[in-house]
Structure 1
């Protein structure tokens, strides 16, 4: 029986690990596109436009469902802001710090679930909040003293991305009765629309360069990255549908490991004692969010 269970869970766990790996190392292709003159916001818009086109070809009726469901447009905004903030932050900042601040998401999810879904705050939830805030304070504490606030754009983007990702997840639970295709369309549309609007505005004001016309090689690379994100999404759906929510959440935390190791190895992030301490507190808060009795969500 135990062997059967292990066999039955191996593929879902592998699928979730692939998802975490793709997101954990996604900073690298975005930096390569930036080196070619494409701001990460323009890259995000292009990649998600390709994903959206593939989804539309596969599910032709999804646009009608999205058009008649106004509540899904908050999902468009939340998902779009999440992707824009995360991809921008890990491209221009210290990858490890941005990813750790992004994973304050369980803290924001607690507060938003209370506000939107009416979920009560328990003593265990209070402990998780304290751990997450303590971890954030350690990560953000300035070397020269002062308040532990985000001190630069990448850190602010990491916090914003985690906040909107929490809103994205809470709103997905609120809209759980909608079809998977409608919710996926809203999320991919957000990834395209928000990034394109922000990038266009920054380009108009001269803060971001006009993206160059893609060469054949760049176009193929964008297509490959889009395919990877489609694979990551399919891996998440496959794994999450076959594993308990607490197992899913724990496996997904490996994204932090993939990001930290790849960034440290390639010189895109630093690991010191303070960052390890703060990161440990943030991860502990995330783990407590899935090891509580009766946990049913991620």
Structure 2
């Protein structure tokens, strides 16, 4: 990297991006600790993003008016909210390595959404990326010892579905950020954090009412401290992302952000949050290849 940019201008921004990737890549452990203390990951997401919304409104109160009067930002609310609710829930209850790999099918969805929403052409390279990502997903999802329709490589568990849905909504989030890049930054930031709070809140209320998830527990110092610490880390990680992405080329930013996969996988293997099989390794290699190919001339992705 130093061969492309002067060392003084590339090292600190790159480290800032790595910090953001580390925060998100290891956040699964924090969510599992909160769940062990009685706080469902959806309720944790509501509280964490609620704190971020409060900070934005305190520092940039005009952001609320921008959000209320800009219908396009509500698509961003839904996309960002679904991304965070799905990802945080999935890594809490599923195999972290598998979930993160399925989540990073995002470049596949981004190609299709960019065509539909931004009128970007479907190039030959984009088509190759789609095929590679699909092949990787098929390997990851291929069920062992099944035949007939049961042998189709489709998501079969809640964590699998959440990983795929989270990746799709993350792609939609990034495409909408590019389409609405002319909007004031505080309005877009509020939309993303409000979505994280709102979508998780609706899901948590619905599941709790149906009896399939617990209600928000009574405040306890153990999980309150954890929520506050995680909110601070997420805000710090987002600041690091903005700092790094503003000072590095878009393709460099995208490559560095892929270290989230590394942090998530290594931490899961060390802390018992996931396993690595030959099947996952082969499929994951293809998914990662497709993601790396998407960095050629790409715009920087947003934090989820």
- Give the structure 2 partner of residue 168 of structure 1: 173
Q: Is the 8 A contact 2:254 2:295 kept in 1?
A: yes
What SS does structure 1 have at the residue aligned with 2:98?
A: helix
- Give the structure 1 partner of residue 34 of structure 2: 33
How far is the alpha carbon of 1:4 from its aligned partner?
A: 7.3
2:229 aligned with 1:221: no
Q: Is the 8 A contact 2:39 2:223 kept in 1?
A: no
The root-mean-square deviation of aligned C-alpha atoms, in Å, is: 1.4
- Give the structure 2 partner of residue 50 of structure 1: 51
CA distance in 2, matches of 1:24, 1:108: 21
How far is the alpha carbon of 1:217 from its aligned partner?
A: 3.3
2:277 aligned with 1:269: no
CA distance in 1, matches of 2:184, 2:4: 34
What SS does structure 2 have at the residue aligned with 1:71?
A: helix
CA distance in 1, matches of 2:67, 2:48: 21
What SS does structure 2 have at the residue aligned with 1:208?
A: coil
2:105 aligned with 1:88: no
Q: Is the 8 A contact 2:254 2:298 kept in 1?
A: no
> Which residue of 255, 263, 268 maps to 1:250?
255
Instruction: Indicate how the Cα distance of structure 1 residues 195 and 213 shifts in structure 2: closer, same or farther if over 3 A, else same.
Output: same
CA distance in 1, matches of 2:5, 2:196: 39
> Which residue of 233, 236, 242 maps to 1:231?
236
Unaligned runs of 5+ in 1: none
- Give the structure 2 partner of residue 191 of structure 1: 196
TM-score, with length taken from structure 1: 0.97
- Give the structure 2 partner of residue 121 of structure 1: 122
CA distance in 1, matches of 2:278, 2:248: 34
Q: Is the 8 A contact 2:245 2:300 kept in 1?
A: no
> Which residue of 133, 152, 162 maps to 2:157?
152
Q: Is the 8 A contact 2:253 2:300 kept in 1?
A: no
2:81 aligned with 1:72: no
Unaligned runs of 5+ in 2: none
